Amino acid sequence: MKIGSALRNEGRHFWRGKSLFLLSLPAMIIVFVFYYLPMFGIVIAFKDINYAKGIWGSDWAGLNNFKFFFQSQDAWRITRNTLLLNGLFIFIGIFCSVIIGLLLAELGRKWVRIFQTVLFFPYFLSWVVVGFVTYILLNPTYGVIDKALELMNLTPVDWYSKPGYWPVILTLTYLWKNVGYTAIIFFTGLIAIDPTYYEAASIDGASRFQQIRKISIPLIVPLITLLVILNIGRIFYSDFGLFYFIPRDSGMLYPVTDVIDTYVFRALRVTGDIGMASAASLYQAVVGLVLVLTTNLIVRKFNKENALF
């Protein structure tokens, strides 16, 4: 009886909001087709793929693909690079975005429009375009930076054979392209704060810096927490374009620029080992899920209202 009653209630709820459900139907179909149906491909990670037999006809490999992946020298390297570089991007990126968002909130409307456009523009550029711009700057023979070093009587650097510089180069490139987008999110959160808080603080004699420290930052902490959790959940999913087009797939830079996404792509392109590539991707997804759940649990321990669920 309880199940029948619950189904009737759900039916009535659906009928009352049928317009909204129909409006969301295209998005639900897209999510189902592109996110749920491909999950059947997980089976590839446990198969010894034979193209003649097909996916379902190929022999089971059990955990051999995972064993081969984790016993290789690549597993530790790409895991370390993925975690460290993406962790760097998340925390430095969010810190810079909050600062820029606060600065935008202090500007007048006219200047905000100008700076919004300037900061937001790089986000729409393709990584292919950004890769060529970076190459113009770092080209070891004709690069702008090396030519500038020569003019200052300094030794030019062969950037594409010196791995030590690339964590900084990748971080700066990531910030230039993405920090404006995140800053707009924080700016939107800041302008949604009730102005009466600031008026009351001004009457009490609070300086502008004190208002930012005591009002602005505490009130956008839930937004910061949300973005941190979501980004940590995708910490194992690197921006493929950044790690492939900016270093130009240089083998000498693999020790610091090779991440799981570029490794999987290269495994498919060079070796054609679809089983091991799928095993690496599944490992990536499982660890990402664990990180989301762990981060959310930690946040709940401190403040349940800031947690995702």
Inter-CA distances, 301 with 12, 139, 290, Å: 37, 50, 17
pTM: 0.80
For 100, other C-beta atoms within 10 Å of its C-beta total 19
Q: 207 in helix, strand or coil?
A: coil
Q: What is the pLDDT along the chain (309 residues), one digit of tens a residue?
A: 566 676 777 777 777 777 888 888 899 999 999 888 888 888 888 888 887 888 888 888 888 888 877 777 778 888 889 889 998 999 999 999 999 988 888 886 777 777 877 888 888 889 999 999 999 999 888 889 988 988 888 888 889 988 999 999 999 999 999 998 899 889 888 888 888 988 898 888 888 888 888 899 999 988 888 888 888 877 878 888 999 999 988 889 999 999 888 888 887 787 777 887 888 888 878 887 887 788 778 777 777 776 666
User: Using the 8-state DSSP alphabet, how is residue 42 labeled?
Assistant: G
Which pLDDT does position 6 carry in this prediction? Answer: 67
CA angle in degrees (0–180, nearest 5) for 220-226-231: 125
Rg (CA), the chain: 25
Which pLDDT does position 20 carry in this prediction? Answer: 80
Q: How far, in Å, CA of 90 to CA of 84, rounded? A: 10
> What are the backbone dihedrals phi and psi of residue 209, each rounded to the nearest 5 degrees, phi first?
-65, -40
Which pLDDT does position 116 carry in this prediction? Answer: 76
